[in-house]
């Protein structure tokens, strides 16, 4: 039976460590979890069963494994040390017999976007970023439609526009809206992206290094690689929808608590085909997964055991290809969730009043 493995790591340190080690998660402060994560070995989490292609009936098996480094430690430690810990985790996947390895959350972001990891391992690697892009743009477009926004008449924004995911999200959104704000930290990179996109689209493109510029938009995709939340309640226009693809999250939990006039949706969540059992609680209901996980699964179902989405240069063609592969095997955009809870019709109707 063909197989895969997928690496996750602690994002919310106390919560995520508690999922595997309840006592440690309860008694250790975040500072000590961050410190000890440097020295902790990779962790086997579970075997994944039941993934079944709707097109071919093929079944695959998989494994969830954990790189112990927290997001904070990945940003603080020397890059070589972080690479070594991810490679060490990848070698666990090799020993398990995985034929392709997916890099989750910051393990796909750190350094060169998986290239160094892929070169060091025998098993092929993917970051899952291509399918994450496809699902995120589909999700924010559908959510905008649900609250009554017409994309051809609405301004959009991409936060983290110059990143690997942000560039292609910007390209795809530019085809849908009349005005698009490109928001990032580096003004020169923003200008370069603006020039590249302007040659391909009639959309009016604006650039900004101030995240508060999202106040000008009602459709927002946020895909930054910040270690902490960067979007606060006062930054958002009433009647807007924001899709948060970043992990750790870009959108503060205060937005959900204080702004009933905006819709925040978690990005990149899909239904997995077949009677899937992850045998581990990573915070989702049964049968649902992040799109980056699903890319790894879809490639295994399709027999595509190759380095797939690695590096910082993701093409639109690759995004379209993996979307087609996933669709063929039965992966579908899941219902909307916000801060890991289902979005209700009441929430949608409340926001619609402000559009």
Q: Check whether residue 87 and residue 107 sit in a common domain.
A: yes
291: exposed, middle or buried (Cβ count in 10 Å: 0-12, 13-18, 19+): buried
pLDDT of the residue at 207: 97
The domain tally of the chain equals: 2
What are 147-163's pLDDT values in tens digits?
999 999 999 999 999 99
Q: Check whether residue 341 and residue 217 sit in a common domain.
A: yes
d(C-alpha 253, C-alpha 269), whole Å: 19
**What mean pLDDT do residues 16-20 have?**
78
pLDDT above 80 for 254 = yes
Q: Categorize the per-residue pLDDT at 34 as very low, low, confident or very high, splitting at 50, 70 and 90.
A: confident
Q: Check whether residue 246 and residue 307 sit in a common domain.
A: no
More confident residue, 203 or 111: 203
More confident residue, 190 or 109: 190
**What mean pLDDT do residues 344-354 have?**
94
Q: What is the pTM of this model?
A: 0.90
pLDDT above 90 for 143 = yes
Sheet of strand 101-103: strand arrangement:
43-52, 59-66, 3-8, 101-103, 125-126
Q: Taking phi first (over 0 means left), then psi (-120 to 50 degrees means alpha), and beta for anything else, what does residue 50 get? A: left
Q: Check whether residue 313 and residue 165 sit in a common domain.
A: no
**What mean pLDDT do residues 318-328 have?**
97
Q: Check whether residue 117 and residue 177 sit in a common domain.
A: no
Q: Check whether residue 31 and residue 180 sit in a common domain.
A: no
Half-sphere exposure of 15 (CA within 13 A, CB side): 6
Count, residues in the chain: 355
pLDDT of the residue at 248: 78
pLDDT of the residue at 50: 97
Q: What is the largest CA-CA distance in the chain?
A: 56
Q: Check whether residue 96 and residue 145 sit in a common domain.
A: no
Q: Categorize the per-residue pLDDT at 43 as very low, low, confident or very high, splitting at 50, 70 and 90.
A: very high
Q: Check whether residue 250 and residue 169 sit in a common domain.
A: yes
Q: Check whether residue 328 and residue 341 sit in a common domain.
A: no
Q: Check whether residue 250 and residue 122 sit in a common domain.
A: no
Per the CB < 8 A criterion, the answer to whether 134 and 318 are in contact is no
What are 119-141's pLDDT values in tens digits?
999 999 999 999 999 999 999 99
Per the CB < 8 A criterion, the answer to whether 42 and 100 are in contact is no
Q: Check whether residue 159 and residue 123 sit in a common domain.
A: no
306: tokens are: 């190759």
Q: Check whether residue 89 and residue 169 sit in a common domain.
A: no
Sheet of strand 288-290: strand arrangement:
288-290, 269-271, 332-333
Q: What is the CATH number of the domain that holds 244?
A: 3.40.50.720
pLDDT above 80 for 23 = no
Q: Which domain holds residue 296?
A: 3-130+269-333
């Amino acid at each position: 039976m063909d197989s895969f493995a997928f690496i996750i790591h602690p994002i919310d340190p106390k919560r995520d460590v508690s999922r595997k080690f309840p006592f440690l998660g309860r008694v250790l402060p975040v500072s000590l979890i961050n410190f000890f994560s440097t020295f902790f070995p990779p962790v086997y989490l579970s075997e994944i069963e039941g993934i079944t292609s709707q097109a071919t009936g093929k079944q695959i098996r998989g494994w969830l494994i954990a790189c112990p480094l927290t997001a904070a430690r990945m940003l603080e430690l020397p890059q070589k040390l972080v690479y070594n810990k991810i490679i060490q985790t990848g070698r666990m996947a090799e020993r398990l017999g995985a034929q392709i390895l997916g890099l989750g959350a910051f393990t796909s972001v750190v350094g060169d976007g998986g290239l160094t990891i892929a070169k060091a391992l025998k098993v092929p690697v993917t970051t899952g970023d291509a399918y994450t892009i496809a699902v995120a743009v589909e999700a924010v477009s559908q959510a905008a439609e649900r609250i009554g926004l017409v994309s051809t008449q609405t301004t959009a924004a991409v936060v983290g526009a110059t990143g690997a995911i942000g560039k292609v999200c910007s390209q795809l959104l530019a085809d849908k809206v009349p005005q698009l704000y490109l928001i990032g930290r580096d003004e020169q990179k923003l200008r370069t992206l603006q020039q590249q996109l302007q040659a391909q689209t009639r959309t009016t493109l604006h650039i900004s290094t101030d995240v508060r510029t999202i106040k000008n938009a009602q459709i927002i995709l946020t895909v930054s690689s910040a270690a902490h939340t960067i979007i606060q309640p006062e930054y958002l226009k009433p009647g807007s929808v924001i899709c948060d693809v970043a992990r750790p999250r870009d959108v503060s939990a205060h937005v959900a608590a204080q702004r009933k006039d905006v819709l925040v949706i978690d990005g990149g969540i899909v239904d997995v085909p077949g009677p899937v059992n992850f045998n581990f609680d990573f915070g989702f209901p049964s049968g649902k997964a992040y799109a980056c996980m699903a890319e790894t699964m879809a490639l295994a179902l399709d027999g595509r055991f190759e380095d797939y989405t690695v590096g910082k240069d993701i093409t639109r063609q690759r995004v379209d290809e993996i979307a087609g592969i996933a669709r063929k095997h039965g992966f579908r955009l899941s219902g909307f969730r916000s801060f890991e809870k289902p979005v209700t019709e009441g929430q949608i109707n409340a926001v619609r009043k402000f559009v």
